[in-house]
Chain A
Amino acid sequence: MNDRTLRITVARSGGVAGITPSWSITASEEPEVDSWLSLVASCPWDAPGPEADANGADRFVYSIRVLLPTAASGTGVDDGADGGHPPSASEAPDAARARERDARVPETALQGPWRELVDRVKQASAR
């Protein structure tokens, strides 16, 4: 994976079946990367995690992880102290420069840009 490769993974857990499918995309061409990144940037990564409905059961939970290309600065995606994992010294140089964001979004909160991001990753992954 080169410096300019963006990777987004969506993993779904929960549901009455308890089956955990996942979908992922990679993009390395500039217009495509930028298009994904603007969608990523529009998601409320820093919003406090919404409380799942205390009385609901068997709803899906989505884990969304974005591995950002290192040259992504200036795209409006900030460093975000909460979702990012500081790279460890033992990782490869490329990985050490990459940045990662992740969020766990209950199905009941999967609206707006979160929904758009998940649906787009599912569709692109199926192709």
Chain B
Amino acid sequence: MRRHIVPPYLLARIARADAFGMERAAEAARRSLLADPPLREERVRAGKATAAGGHSRAVSAAPVDRRVERTIFDAGNTEKLPGREVRTEGAAASGDVAVDEAYEGLGATHALLLEAFGRASVDGAGLPLLATVHYGTHYDNAFWDGQRMVFGDGDGEVFGRFTASLSVIGHELAHGVTQFTAGLAYEGQSGALNESFSDVMGALVEQFHARQTADAASWLIGAGLFTSAVQGRALRSMLEPGTAYDDDVLGRDPQPADMAGYVDTADDNGGVHLNSGIPNRAFALAARAIGGFAWERAGQVWYDAITGELSPTADFAGFAAATTASARARFGDDSPEVGAVAAAWRTVGVTAS
């Protein structure tokens, strides 16, 4: 049975909203109303709300399993997935630090999604969470393969194990959220937005876990991954992109902090891990200007935008418009939240369109 997450009356209301300055949301809602069933099927996914309709939570007919269900696998230093099952939901700690960090990190991420955003797992429908650790030999990465998170042990010289950072675990799982919602294409600006939303959620998982306010947060992604031989604090700084490390071997953190530094490159799917610094900083600035717990307001606004009718090929300007629209919908046109979001995008040189 196909479930329509966005009620038709809400789509109709948003489709008429042009006069209130929500052109993009209105356009998206009209497209959704007019779309052929197969296209609609593809676009309307479990857990979607609309950017402009954030107050109206999606109501689904089937019961959703809100419990966390984790399974951790061990690749045994091969590149074969999924590997051997080593810890299932509710089982005692395994004693393998990577296994147990992955298990706890999945739990913390599930808790943020459920408790802060009312979302049951990455797909909004209770999807079991899968992770594989000890992938490859000296493997310097963690990735999302479309179904599971995968963590390497690091080379031991530059990087230690990739499960050591809760923000990186949250980052990987958030790729799953994006996959099930906006489906941002992993290339160029939409790819950098995909990366940035993963950093936003990674930072929020850490802050939520520590019950930390925006002012007190480090806004670092991947703190604790580098070995002590590296001159650096983390992989990235959301608040001060370009300052996370400066090391003889690694060089200097290459992230730009605003559009003036935007990097045009064919590497890294068009610089998705570089240019993400720009929307990252917009989020951190907005969250700090709003104050309090970042997941409650700035995080909610970003979450509403990603789970709304955002185009899979959205660019920075389009995402700035979407977040401004979701701030209006949730907090009102003249709210401090709208002002903070708009000011943050201006500071990083992005003009909403």
- Chain A positions near chain B (C-beta within 8 angstroms): 11, 13-20, 52-61, 63, 104
Contacts and interface: CB of A to CB of B under 8 A. Distances in A.
Contacts of A59: 141, 143, 145
Nearest to A62: B267
Contacts, number: 82
B254 to A, nearest CB: 8
A56 B146 contact: yes
Contacts of B171: 16, 58
Contacts of A52: 186, 269
22 contacts: A13-B267, A14-B269, A14-B272, A14-B273, A16-B142, A16-B273, A17-B140, A17-B159, A18-B235, A18-B254, A19-B140, A55-B144, A55-B145, A55-B146, A55-B179, A56-B144, A57-B178, A58-B141, A58-B143, A58-B172, A58-B175, A59-B145
B41 interface: no
A11 B267 contact: yes
Contact of B141 (A16, A55, A63, A104): A16
Interface string B251-262: 000110000000
Give the size category of B's interface with A: 20 to 34
Nearest to B180: A55
Interface string B148-192: 000000000001001000001001100100110000001000000
Which of A15, A53, A104 has the most B CB atoms < 10 Å from its CB? A15
Nearest to B187: A52
B194 interface: yes
B274 interface: yes
Interface in B174-228: 175, 178-179, 186, 194-195, 198, 222, 225
- Is chain B's interface secondary structure helix, strand, loop, or mixed overall? mixed
Given A20-B267, A104-B266, 19 more contacts: A15-B143, A16-B143, A16-B235, A16-B273, A17-B235, A18-B236, A18-B273, A20-B268, A53-B145, A55-B145, A55-B179, A57-B186, A57-B198, A58-B143, A58-B144, A58-B175, A59-B141, A60-B141, A63-B267
A3 B236 CA distance: 43
B195 to A, nearest CB: 8
B146 A19 contact: no
Given A57-B143, A57-B194, A58-B141, A18 B175 contact: no
Contacts of B250: 19
A49 to B, nearest CB: 12
A13 B268 contact: yes
Closest 9 CB pairs of A and B: A18-B273, A55-B146, A13-B267, A13-B268, A58-B143, A57-B175, A15-B141, A57-B144, A14-B268
Nearest to B226: A17
Nearest to B198: A57
Nearest to A57: B175
A17 B222 CA distance: 8
Contact of A61 (B225, B235, B267): B267
Contact of B162 (A16, A53, A57, A104): A16
Contacts of B172: 16, 57-58
Contact of B142 (A54, A58, A63): A58
A104 B147 CA distance: 25
Interface string B22-60: 000000000000000000000000000000000000000
Contacts of A11: 267
A58 B268 CA distance: 9
Contacts of B274: 18
Contacts of A13: 267-268
Interface string B218-248: 0000100100000000011000000000000
